[in-house]
Structures are given as structure tokens and as C-alpha cells.
Structure 1
Amino acid sequence: MTSARTANLRSPLIRLLCAWICRTCGGRRPKSKRSLLLLCAACILYGIFIVSQIVNVLPQKPTQKVTATEQPRNFLEPNTFFVENSQPDGGAVNNSPTLQPNVVYITLRSKRSKPANIRGTVKPKKRRKSASLRQNELGHSIFQGIHKMENKIWEGNQKRGTPTYKSRDPNLTIVGDARGGTNKHQSNIRIYSDSAPPWFSPDDIRAMRFLADSRIQTITQVPTSHAHLILFEKPSKKNPTSCQGMCGLVKRPLDMSEVFAFHLDRILGLNRSLPAVSRKFEFAQDVLPCPVILWDSSLSSTDNITQSSVKLKWGTYQKNLPHKCWLNGKAPKADLGCPDVHHHEWSKMALFDFLLQVYTRLDKNCCGFRPRKEDTCVQQGLHLKCDDPHNIDLMHIVQRKHDPRHLVFIKNKGYFDRSEDNLNFKLLEGIKEFPESAVSVLRSQKLREKLLQSFFLDNVFWESQRGRQGIEKLIDVIERRAKILLTYINAHGIKVIPMND
């Protein structure tokens, strides 16, 4: 109302002013100096009036804080991340649309959520090569660097008179003074507190330090499909090709999930997998960090088909589960056909394999889920042989020679890109009990904290996953599967009992 009245008053004044100017300027020139001054003053006032009108038309900055109801239209777009700089933790994500001071607004395009993957395990899209070809490239790249270093070390040792052993076997290379890229004064296993996490034994820490930092003295190739190299710490002069002390098995970068499996195994209290760390070799150029696993010479011998020391088929395995073989130290009847493995070992293995979705042990033909083209069962055509699952062999069922009652989990390659609607529940079939130690960790809501604390010890693995951000994505997958497993336990009435056998 006020603005309308002001406009009505201004309009006649403007007309009168314009008429007076026209009447004054009607002559050729003003009659006196007084008239000339009045004309200039009128022009100045008219100019000020025009400028004030233009300023009122231009937009002005708001002097007050904009609330959610007064928010300008189309100012905030969907998928806008609000990062609060004033928070003590350095920034937190806020989904509120209210504008706040000290806030950085970043608008991103909507992206389809992708499943987590361990870095180094995903093959590049541009390179479409078979798994065997990638294995050969890895072995060739590492051995190529070793051969170059071997010649230099051999010449240097000959001048100094240092004995260096060379094998006549073309697949064997023994290096006398080669390090795997570690600093003498800094270990890749970092422990900043007074002691290591309680789930690691002193033997575990000793093995991890050896695998990550030890001097490489002997290197040989293993004639298997998945293992490439063995690192020997102290070869014997009589038989340099045998592992007399601690040895490490180098595997492909695609098997990096075995390092994750080792830490998860110790945190859950299962203690069935072999120590594993990540290690980068400077003498092998353009090679990603590789998992190095402790070589255990006490493992029982396995056959080439199933790579197991216990030969079992799926049907026999399911029939033996209700018998609870060797439970409470009681020897089973001979007609039951029980293996030497204790009954509780199958429950531990099923829980471990489900969290990591390791299908190669109990379901090598991928009968319990929808496999992809990259899976071994599809590449070998095994997924087409699920009509008679009772005759499918179990794989990688391994014991120790001096301890046949307990299993050793080998080939623990897990898969983090399996969606929740495609999990392999066939791994849990026939299992009626689960270990209390493992289930209590899953229920305690401290699995994430323990995994982060555990992975921080392995510096190479931590950096290979781009630090905490990459590792948290992997932990997210395990936590979601843990919730599904706990729901499965409650729905099926599965018992949770101590398993200290």
C-alpha cells in the first residue's frame, strides 16, 4: 500500500517538473543566470531520481538466514552432500536441506551403488585375458626381476667369496641377498601400543613379521595352478630346495582377500587359517602388492583333483553331519563312515565361508547361487552339473599330519561383490550348531572396530585398499552378511554352543 501511494504522488510531480523544464528550455537560451542554475539543479534531481529507481529494481542480498520454508526455488538439487566444517571430527555428512553457515555444498550426479571389491582383485575392463594368462604374467614378471637381480648378486658374492647356491632346476632360482622392498629400521607390521591385539598369538605376530620383512634368500616355483612362488628364509646347504625354517607362499594379487580372511578368522576366534600379509616386491616392476601366506609343511598331502587330504562328496558329508562324529571324544562306529575330522570343524568352516562367500570348498559347482562369467565354475562349465549334487566332491578339505581332528582353511579367496539377494545359503545346509566365540563377536557390534584395529597392523594391505575409506567398504559387506546370518540362526533355531575341541 505504501509503495502504491508513493508512486501516485510521484507521477504528478514528475509531469510538472517536465513541463517546467520544457517551458524554460523553450527559448533558445535562458534569460538569466538564475534560470540556468535552476535548470541544472532540476536535471541533477531528475538524474538522482532515475538512479534510485534503477537501484530498487536490482536484487539485494538477504540480510537474514534463509530457512527451509523461505528457501529459493531450485537452489538445492537432489544428491547434494552437506559437509559441516565446524564439527570437531573434520566434517560429517548431513542430509538436511537447511542452509547453514560454514558449510560446503557439493552437488553430485546420482550414481548406482557398486559393490565393494578388494583392490587388486578386479581385473581391468580393457584387458580381457584368461586367469591362467594373468597367472603366467605375474610369475614371469616376478621371475624376470629376480633373474636380473640374481646375476648381480652372484657376481658380487663371487668377488667377496660368499657362498651362493644355484639349482640346476630351471624352475628354481636361489637368491643370496635380496630384500623384498622393506626398510631395515621400519617394519611393514606396525604395532604402536604395548602389545598386539589379543586375537593374535605371539606365533602369529612372529609369522607376520617374517612374511612382511624377512630377507628373501631362496625362491622357487610351485607346480600348482594357484601358487607361484615360495620364499625360503634359510635354505639347507645339503638340500636347498626344501624349507627347513619358515617359508612364505606368494600368490596372485587377485587373491588379496586371503589377507582379509586371516584377520577375520583370528577375530572370530576360529584360528583355522594360515597367517597372511600383503607384500610389495621392488625387484618385480609393475606388479601390485601380493598376498604372502605362511607355508606349513605339517599339512597332510593332498591329491591333484580335490586338493584335499579328506575325500568327501556332498552326499556323504550331509549324511555324516547328524552323526556328530568324534563329539566329546567318542570314537564313531565303523559302519558310519565318519572321517577323522571333528564334528565342530564343519560348523566353523560353514560360518567362515558364508561371511566371505567362499564357495570353492562346499559348492565348487556354484549350485547354491547365481554365478557370473568370471567365476571358476562358469569358466570350467561346472555350473551345468548341478543335477546330482550328491556326487560333487568337496574341495580344499585339509588337515595336519599330527592333528587330523582339526581342519586348516586354505584357499580362502572371498567375494565381496555378492549382493544380499544372491548369497550362497547352501554353505549352511545341514549345520545345526555354531561356535559361541564367533557368534558373540557378530552380536557385540564391535566387529568393525576390531577389524580396523587388526588391518592397521598390515601397512601394505592398509595402503593397497586406500586406507580406512576402502577398508570400511569391505567391512560394510561383512557386517550386512553377519546380520543376515544372525537372522538365519534365529529363524532356524540353530544352537550357539562353546566349541573348544
Structure 2
Amino acid sequence: MASNAFWNLNRVQTVVLTSTIFIVLIILQFSLNDNAMQNVSPVPFVRSGALCVQTFPETPRRKVGKPFIIVGRDGAFRVEPLSTVNLSEVPPFMYEQDTALLREVKEMNNSNLRFDVYIPPWFDRSDVLRMESMSNGNVSHVFSVPQHKRVKEVIFEDKCGLKIDSIDDCVDKCGVQKSPEDIHEVYAFHVDRVLGFNRSLPAVARRFGGKTNDRAFAKFGDRFSDGVIRPMVWFDPSIRHSGTLQPDQNSMSLWWTDYQRELSYKCFSKDNVEDSLRNKNCTAKIRHIEWGRLAVYDFLLQNHDRIDRSCCGYDRDEGELCFSSGLYERECKDIKRQHLVHIFTRTSDESRLVFIDNVFNPNRSVEHLNYRLLQGIQEIPKTPIAVLKSGKFREMMLQSLYLDKVFWEDQGGRPHVEKLIDIIEKRAQKLITYVDETGIEVVEDY
């Protein structure tokens, strides 16, 4: 009997011990999961036998405090007050992930950007780290682009130990250095993020050489030692190049008549996907709302060199290259000769556009804008219009552009940056009036 009692006691102790261990393991698992949400580690991947690091993982954000922009489920829109009296002040909110990112940014000790002060909600983690890399990263390789003389392809801090013969061998941390005349692409990038388009590649202003400590890069040529400020734009290797018509500047061949047909059939609109797949007139596979997003963006920039390459929508010459090059005279007389350029998608998603070569034309007068950029558009996303109507666009742009110290100072500081914002605001009023008068639908994004 004593032996049986001892055996039964041991069984009870074993069950209790097993249960306790199981509970401890569950608690530990929840703790690990919570920590993982707070501090997401880079995701390693293998390329050509070498282990590299995917540097910029996307992380979900959890808010602490209030963001600048609040869009309710019912579509109601409001913008929280935002002080611009002192642009170095920290706004009264932060995201949990941003506090950790701020510590990471401060350790980079990059005086060219001001992300060590705060991170606006329109920039995600990947934006911040890519901008930091381009504005301050060491250059390991530079490549010329034969068909684009004013462009240099740059690889920053290659650590994979692979043989690199071209930009196509880039794993991450790559950019394109453009001409000083393209500096307003930095401004266009901030317009993209503030208005919620989120289709442009990150861009920053950077000076190599001159009064800086970057003279070590002189071996890559004069433009890396002359001290001239140029834009750096992120290089995305997933951009799709295709089509029989200028494949280096397009993901597909798209003539003006094809584009207008896509719009008229509302190809791949929210409720028209299945029919679009069967419709022979729908060939681009791009969501209908993407064209509205692009048209609004280009109208505000007055960037004709995408939808209206030949400037057929302008009623007079105000110095655009399309007039002096003869494109206007040659192509506007024959609609069959008009084609779109810089229409890009990614290989991973052919339904969403990527905006590159985003030219901001500050000299086009508000009385002579190109409304052909909006021709055929039936719907546009709600967010950009809501921001423009909110009266907070100027404040948001000031907060955003102030972060790029090199661009800010190169433009002459706040008084001159305000003039650039004036231009967009005046065009925005024309855009809103046009949308109201023509009945273009302002819809939820999809």
C-alpha cells in the first residue's frame, strides 16, 4: 500500500510539474511575440551564396498620442493643429516604433537630415532609413548610364562581398545621382508623401566635396568632389522595364489612344476587375484609380513629361523643352504619334504605378495650366483632395521639407520654400474647381 501511495504521489507531482512548465512556456512565447512587435529584426536572405541583410523591413505602427491627419471610417477628415512657428519643435505625438527609430537615427549622426528631432506620420521606417543612407552613406561603386548622360548609378556601402559589375548587382542601399537641374525632384517627393500618393521613390539633396569631408569620393569623378548639390533618388531593382517603345523609360508601351480607352472602360476599377480581365480593351492591368492618382500629382507639379510628353495640353510656350525640341509641332497634329513615357510598375505588382522622374515645373503660370493631364479621369483618391482642402498642406510641407537640411538651405530657407508651396496651393485651387465642375468622383482608395 505504501509503495502504491508513493507511486501515485510521484504521478501527481509529475503532472503538476509538466503543467507548470507548459504555462511558463506560453507566457514566455507571448513575451517574445510582444518584443518582436516592438523590435523587428532585419530579415536575412541569400543571394549568390552570400548572406546579406534586407535592411528596411516594414513594421506595423502603434500610435501614442495624435497624428496630424485623421480620416474616420465614415470618410470624415480633420487635421490636428500643427505649429510652424518653430520648425525644430517636436510635434505633440509619436509612434512607438518611431521612438526606437529615432534612437537608431541619432546613432547615425547625420547632419544632413533632421530626423533626430521627429518623424512625421507620412514617412514610414523604410523612407527614413533610405533617406539617411542616400544623404550620408559611403559610396562603394559608381556606374555611368550611357543613354542618360546626366545620371550616375550609385551603390552605398556594399557589404555582401560579391563581384559587382553594374547597378543590377545591387542588393540594397542603391541610388541614382541626378543633375542639379533636377533638384526639385526632392520637393516632388515630399509632395507625394504629404498628400498620401505614396508612389514616388525617396529622394534627398546631397553635396559631395566642396566644403564637406567627402573629398575622398573624388575618385568617382568631378560630380563627387565639386561641392554642387544634386538630388539622390532611391534605386528600386524591382522596377519593370518592358515594351517595344522606349523600354528603358516604360514598363509597357502605351499610346495616348490606348490610355484614353483604358480610362473610358474604367479598366480594373474597384467593381470591374472580372470584366476587365475579359475585356480586350483593358491591356495595362493597372487599377483604374492609379491613373487618377497620377493625373492629380502631375497636374499639381505641372509635369507634362509622362502623360502629355508633347505638351499638347498647353495653350502657349512658357519655356518647356517640348516646344524648343519640336515635339509640340511634330506630334500634336497627329494623335496617333502621341505616347506616354515614365509609366512604371514593379515586377511584383503590375496593378500599381511607381512614380519616377517627377519633374516639378515651378515656372508654369497658373492661368495657363495643362488640363489635358486630367482628360478622361473619372475618379481620384480622397486623401490628397482632403489634405489640400484642410488648409494644413502648407504647414505639413514646411515640417516635411525642413527635415532635409541640405535642400532647405539650398533653396534659401523658409521664405523661398514658402514660395514653392504657394505654387502648389494656387494650382490646387484650380484642381478642386475643375473636379467640382466636371463631376470627377472623389473616392476611397483601393
Question: What is the TM-score with the length of structure 1 in the denominator?
Answer: 0.61
Aligned mates of 1:279, 1:402 — CA distance in 2: 30
In the alignment, does 2:171 pair up with 1:225? Answer: no
| Residue identity in the other structure for 1:319 | R
Shift of residue 315 of structure 1?
1.0
Shift of residue 186 of structure 1?
3.5
In the alignment, does 2:187 pair up with 1:247? Answer: no
**Which one of the candidate residues 176, 197, 203 is aligned to 2:120?**
197
Q: 1:373 to 1:445 in 2, by over 3 A?
A: closer
Aligned-partner SS, 1:335: coil
Aligned mates of 1:184, 1:341 — CA distance in 2: 39
In the alignment, does 2:247 pair up with 1:323? Answer: no
Cα deviation, 1:163-203, whole Å, max 9, x if unaligned, reads: xxxxxxxxxxxxxxxxxxxx97343110354x400000111
Shift of residue 216 of structure 1?
1.1
In structure 2, the residue matched to 1:388 is 334
Cα deviation, 1:299-319, whole Å, max 9, x if unaligned, reads: 001467261112111111111
Matches within 5 A, 1:414-493: 414-493=360-439
CA contact (8 A) 1:268 1:437 kept: yes
Aligned mates of 1:474, 1:226 — CA distance in 2: 28
Aligned mates of 1:460, 1:354 — CA distance in 2: 27
Aligned-partner SS, 2:352: strand
Aligned-partner SS, 1:265: helix
Shift of residue 227 of structure 1?
4.9
Aligned mates of 1:250, 1:409 — CA distance in 2: 17
Shift of residue 219 of structure 1?
1.4
In the alignment, does 2:294 pair up with 1:357? Answer: no
Matches within 5 A, 1:44-443: 185-193=109-117, 195-225=118-148, 227-235=150-158, 236-241=160-165, 242-282=169-209, 283=215, 284-302=224-242, 305=246, 307-328=249-270, 329-330=273-274, 332=276, 333-370=278-315, 372=317, 374-385=319-330, 386-443=332-389
Shift of residue 234 of structure 1?
3.9
Shift of residue 323 of structure 1?
1.4
| Residue identity in the other structure for 1:191 | F
Aligned mates of 1:390, 1:431 — CA distance in 2: 20
**Bigger CA radius of gyration:** 1
| Residue identity in the other structure for 1:289 | I
| Residue identity in the other structure for 1:201 | D
Aligned-partner SS, 1:218: strand
CA contact (8 A) 1:347 1:433 kept: yes
Select the structure that is richer in strand: 2
- For structure 2, the 5+ residue unaligned runs are 1-84, 86-106, 210-214, 216-223
Cα deviation, 1:246-305, whole Å, max 9, x if unaligned, reads: 101000010011101110001111100000000000134545210000000000014672
Aligned-partner SS, 1:288: strand
Aligned mates of 1:339, 1:185 — CA distance in 2: 45
Q: 1:334 to 1:487 in 2, by over 3 A?
A: closer
| Residue identity in the other structure for 1:294 | W
Q: 1:373 to 1:471 in 2, by over 3 A?
A: closer
| Residue identity in the other structure for 2:375 | E
Deviates more, 1:324-333 or 1:406-415: 324-333
CA contact (8 A) 2:267 2:282 kept: no
Q: 1:493 to 1:187 in 2, by over 3 A?
A: same
Shift of residue 340 of structure 1?
1.4
CA contact (8 A) 1:234 1:245 kept: no
Shift of residue 338 of structure 1?
2.8
CA contact (8 A) 2:138 2:157 kept: no
Q: 1:319 to 1:256 in 2, by over 3 A?
A: same
Aligned-partner SS, 1:404: strand
Aligned-partner SS, 2:234: strand
Aligned mates of 1:347, 1:492 — CA distance in 2: 14
Aligned mates of 1:199, 1:292 — CA distance in 2: 20
Deviates more, 1:241-250 or 1:397-406: 241-250
Aligned-partner SS, 2:231: strand
Aligned mates of 2:286, 2:110 — CA distance in 1: 42
In structure 1, the residue matched to 2:77 is none
Aligned mates of 1:338, 1:302 — CA distance in 2: 14
CA contact (8 A) 2:296 2:374 kept: yes
CA contact (8 A) 2:110 2:132 kept: no
- For structure 1, the 5+ residue unaligned runs are 1-88, 90-182
Q: 1:371 to 1:224 in 2, by over 3 A?
A: farther
> How many residues were matched structurally?
319
| Residue identity in the other structure for 1:260 | Y
Shift of residue 372 of structure 1?
3.9
Shift of residue 334 of structure 1?
3.6
Aligned-partner SS, 2:164: coil
Aligned mates of 2:350, 2:108 — CA distance in 1: 40
Aligned mates of 2:173, 2:340 — CA distance in 1: 29
Shift of residue 239 of structure 1?
2.2
Please tell me the root mean square deviation across aligned C-alpha atoms, in Å: 2.1
